[in-house]
Amino acid sequence: MLLSLVAVILLQTDSSFGGLPFYNGFYYNHVMNDKGNGDREIHFSGIKLVVETPGDPIFTHRGANVTLSCQYHYDPPLDKPRKIRIKWSKLREDSTKDQDVLVAVGPKHRSFGDFSGRTHLQQDSPGEASLVIHDLRLHDGGKYRCEVIDGLEDESGIVDLELR
C-alpha cells in the first residue's frame, strides 16, 4: 500500500528537471517557448528544410529507365553540410502502409523488394536526392514519396509516375 502511494506521488510531481521543458523524452526548447511562426510550423534553430519535387506527372513506358526528381535545401542556407537520411517509398492506392523502395545515408543505400538491384540514388549535386529506377515494370507506376530526414525534422514531396 505504501509503495503504491509513493508511486502515485512520484507520478504526480512535475516531470521537468531543473526547470528544463521536456516533451516525450526530447528537449524542445524552441517549441516549449512557443517560438514557431504562428502557422503551427516549427523551425529548429531558425532553419527550415525544404523538399521540392515536380508538380506534373512523369510519363514513360515499361522497360525504360526513369529518374524521379527530388531536390532539397535549407532556408537560410547552411554553412556546412549535415548528415541526412533519404527515404523513397511507393504509396499504395488503398492508403495502407507505404512500400519501401530505397533508404540512403550518405553514399550508402539499400533497396527493397522488387526494387532491389533496379534502383539507386542520384546525388550529382548538393541537395539532390533523385531516385533512378531501371527496367520499369508495369506495377512500378504510381505515386512515390521522397522524404528527407534531418534529425528531428523531416520534409517530403510526391512524384507521380505514369506508365503508358
pLDDT digits (tens, 9 = 90+) for 138-160: 999 999 999 999 988 899 999 99
3-state secondary structure 94-133: CCCCCEEEEEEECCEEEECHHHCCCEEEECCCCCECEEEE
* Stated pTM of the model: 0.72
What number is the average pLDDT over the span 54-68? 97
Cell of 70: 527530388
Please tell me which of 16-20, 21-25, 127-131, 152-156 the model is most confident about, judged by mean pLDDT. 127-131
The predicted structure's pLDDT at residue 21: 35
* For residue 23, pLDDT beyond 50: no
Cα–Cα distance measured from residue 14 to residue 132, given in angstroms and rounded to the nearest whole number: 51
pLDDT digits (tens, 9 = 90+) for 69-106: 999 999 999 888 888 999 999 999 887 889 999 999 98
